[in-house]
Amino acid sequence: MTSASPGPVDVAEPLLSLSAITKRFGSFTAISDVSLDLRPGEIHCILGENGAGKSTLCNLIFGVHQPDSGAMRYRGAPFHPSNPADSLSQGIAMVHQHFSLVPDLTVVDNVLLGRQSGILDRKACAAELEKLADDYGLPLDPFAKIQNISVGERQRVEIVKCLIRDPSLFVLDEPTAVLLPDEISALLNVCRRVASSGRAVVLVTHKLAEIKKIADRVSVLRAGRIVTTSDRPAEDIDMLVRAMIQGNVEQLDTSAASVLGIKPVIHVGHDQTVAKTKVEALQIDGLTVKDHQGVTRLDNFTLTVDRGEIVGVAGVEGNGQSELTAVLAGMVLPTEGRIHLGSVELTARSPREITAAGVGIVPEDRHTVGSVTGMSVSENIYLNRLDEFTRFGFLNRSALQQEASVLMQRFDVRARGPSSLFSSLSGGNQQKAVLARELTLRNLSCLVAAQPTRGLDVGAVAAVYSHIRGASDRGVAVLLVSSELDELLTVADRIVVLYRGRIMGSCRADPAQRELIGAMMAGQHQ
């Protein structure tokens, strides 16, 4: 394994020190007067709402951005990385919140990027990669193309890309948001092993269960400032949440609390005892999808979702969920089967036609297929309705931004303004903007939401499910795909389980059914 570590570290001194760091983007201050010590042998977690400055802080450490004021010292010497290559050469590696992979290259080629020049020894790298993935419980096919693997597998590639460099400082910006429970556990074990070897780990996470399990120290960022630090995070969870959201944990939604590992006091979950008139909305009949190699990814999927019903789709990621939502969004043609919304057939319709029929789509990859990051926030929020603001071929930007501002306030989309680039938003705020667009379709009658709370903070999780429940209460049929079983059990009325592309069974969404659902997720028929 190639080592970027220049030698032993004096454990009495911080590995990296930040002193009064400030970073501005125009008139917006993203990081303000932040001082922080990262110690060898320590896992330091950064907690904060979406848009609090966590990613900016990580990017300053990794050399993506340079501070406007303040100083950094690394291994006792002044540290001024001008770009990520500087940080990498000195033993700092980072897993970014958004993927930095080349889709049409293989896993091994992506790992080799920036590491070798001239003739690439793919076979040797593949062997090294397989051993590393084996050691850390992060299996990968070295010769699979990135575009053909799941979102969770892509995150594993990002993590292994860093581990293969044997970093002295390992920075992870929300790495567990797209991982399965077993993968999360394996990654946390990786973090502990890295820290135990005398290195430092910075972990940005929204999941308090992870903090309880792994954190040695936790710092809370709010509005770009560190508002508190705890040396006893497992004991100070409630205090840390209050500091993060500037409020009380008793106000948290049940589903938000379950994701984050807090026991809520007030339960405002979906009232599953209310009798609903069953009127079929979404009908999926025998949907089958085969990939370009002829492998069946979705096998005879048949399901009906009633108006006002929330149906959760559970299963280990990679068992047909992505193919299901892609077909429903009109992005992949089914091999067999039919889709109807009421009396309207949507089989093989284009995304535009599906939207026009009243289907809102919240995709699992908001960056690639859920937005146009080079356009403004207002343009993305009204991406499917820009014609409403167009006359004689000209876009009325003033009216567009005025209307977008209303939705930004309603859905708590935090940005410098509606004219800001979508790419400038934090991941959570991007997700809320996509949700705002899809939930405000004029004729919305069905919502297909894939991993809608992935990577969101506690307040955003509560807001997302409040909006989804509100849509359901208005009679919208909701198909909710999530790898978070606790969320499905809290929010859904009914759960179906996918295994290798087939429905293994279904049951009502009740915590008492957890064992049954787990068995179905493992491939046992109901």
The radius of gyration of the chain from alpha carbons, rounded to an integer in Å, stands at 23
Q: What is the CATH number of domain 16-247?
A: 3.40.50.300
Query: Which tokens is 427 given?
Result: 């991941």
Same fold for the pair 16-247 and 280-521 = yes
Q: What is the CATH number of domain 280-521?
A: 3.40.50.300
Query: What pLDDT, on a 0 to 100 scale, did the predictor assign at position 300?
Result: 94
Number of other CB atoms surrounding residue 181 within 10 Å: 12
DSSP-derived 3-state class of residue 425? coil
- Residue 482: pLDDT above 70? yes
Average pLDDT for residues 277-287, to the nearest whole number? Answer: 89
Q: Quick one: DSSP state of residue 48?
A: E
Query: What pLDDT, on a 0 to 100 scale, did the predictor assign at position 9?
Result: 42
154-196 residue pLDDT tens: 888 888 888 888 899 999 998 876 666 667 787 888 899 889 9
Task: Considering only residues 440 and 136, tell me which one the structure prediction assigns the higher pLDDT.
Answer: 440
Neighbouring C-alpha atoms within 13 Å toward the C-beta of 208 = 25
Where do the domains of the chain lie?
A: 16-247, 280-521
- Residue 212: pLDDT above 70? yes
Would strands 280-290 and 296-306 be described as parallel, antiparallel, or unpaired?
antiparallel
Taking the model in full, what pTM does it have? 0.64
Question: What is the residue-averaged pLDDT of the chain?
Answer: 85
> Would you place residue 421 in the very low, low, confident or very high pLDDT band (cuts 50, 70, 90)?
very high
Query: What pLDDT, on a 0 to 100 scale, did the predictor assign at position 118?
Result: 61
- Residue 11: pLDDT above 60? no
